[in-house]
Amino acid sequence: MPDVLRRFALAAAILVFGFWGLALMLKPELVHPFFSDGPLNPAYAGMMGAAFLGLAIISLANETGWITPSRALGIAVAIIVVEAGFLMFSHSGLIITPVTSISLVSALAVAVFLIL
């Protein structure tokens, strides 16, 4: 594939994942009908949005060299940690259990380790 087409495809993917990620995190009720005809689950929508946004950041960092891939992964994990924490403590559907709490603390430790 020619380099210009590869870069265009990667830029389009980064924009799509970034847009859907932000939309699912910030306004899931607006974009939910595009994904499902079932009831909206804010926890699933938010976590899916955080994963999409993290993927966009990892892809952008890898292509541009803006930051190292390990730091980009740390930022992606941190986005998921922030979203999970918000969903857990704002009564948005992500329940607080020992498993989710341990996962949140573990992911936070991994994010800090990767960013530093």
- pTM, entire model: 0.88
What number is the average pLDDT over the span 85-93? 86
Angle between helices 42-64 and 69-89 (to 10 degrees): 160
Q: Distance between CA atoms of 112 and 110, rounded to whole angstroms?
A: 6
DSSP 44-97: HHHHHHHHHHHHHHHHHHHHH-SS-HHHHHHHHHHHHHHHHHHHHHTTSS----
The per-residue pLDDT for range 1-60, each reduced to its tens digit, is 788 998 999 999 999 999 999 999 999 999 988 888 989 998 999 999 999 999 999 999
Predicted confidence at residue 94, as pLDDT, reads 85
